[in-house]
Amino acid sequence: MAITCLLFASSVYADGESRPATKGEMDFMRRVYGAFQQAAPRSGPAGWDETERAAGEVTDRVFKGVESGPMRLHYQVKWMDTAKVEAARLKREEAALSPGAAPPQADQARQQRFEELAAQIGAAAERGDMKAMERLQREMDAVGKQMFAPAEDAERQRKGEDKAMAPRDVYAKLFFTVNDSWLAFQDNYKGSNKQKPIDGNPAYRLDDNHYRENYVEWVEGNTCVVIGNWKPGARSGQKGVGSSMNLKAPHTRVQSVNVCAQAEPARARALLERIDWNPLKALLGN
Q: How do residues 199-246 score in pLDDT, each as one tens digit?
A: 999 999 987 665 666 667 888 989 999 999 999 888 888 888 999 999
Last residue of a domain, one of 144, 165, 186: 165
**Residues 67 and 179 occupy one common structural domain:** yes
Task: State the pairing for strand pair 171-178/73-80.
Answer: antiparallel
Residue 219: inside a domain, yes or no? yes
Q: How do residues 64-86 score in pLDDT, each as one tens digit?
A: 999 999 999 999 999 999 999 99
Give the pLDDT score at 6.
Answer: 39
Distance, in Å, from the CA atom of 73 to the CA atom of 58, rounded to the nearest integer, reads: 11
- Indicate the SS3 state at residue 193: coil
Last residue of a domain, one of 131, 165, 199: 165
Last residue of a domain, one of 165, 189, 222: 165
- Min mean pLDDT across 23-32, 91-100, 138-147 is at 91-100
**Residues 118 and 76 occupy one common structural domain:** no
Q: Span 166-187, mean pLDDT?
A: 91
CA 246 to chain centre: 28
Residue 13: inside a domain, yes or no? no
In angstroms, how far is the first alpha carbon of the chain from the final one?
A: 28
**Residues 265 and 209 occupy one common structural domain:** yes
1 falls in which pLDDT band (50, 70, 90)?
Answer: very low
**Residues 23 and 161 occupy one common structural domain:** no
96 falls in which pLDDT band (50, 70, 90)?
Answer: confident
**Residues 158 and 182 occupy one common structural domain:** no
- DSSP structural state of residue 99: -
Q: Domain containing 147: what range? A: 92-165
CB burial string 46-69: b at 16+ within 10 A, e below = eebeeeebbebebeeebbeebbee
pTM for this model (two decimals):
0.76
Residue 1: inside a domain, yes or no? no
**Residues 141 and 66 occupy one common structural domain:** no
Percent of the chain with pLDDT over 90: 60
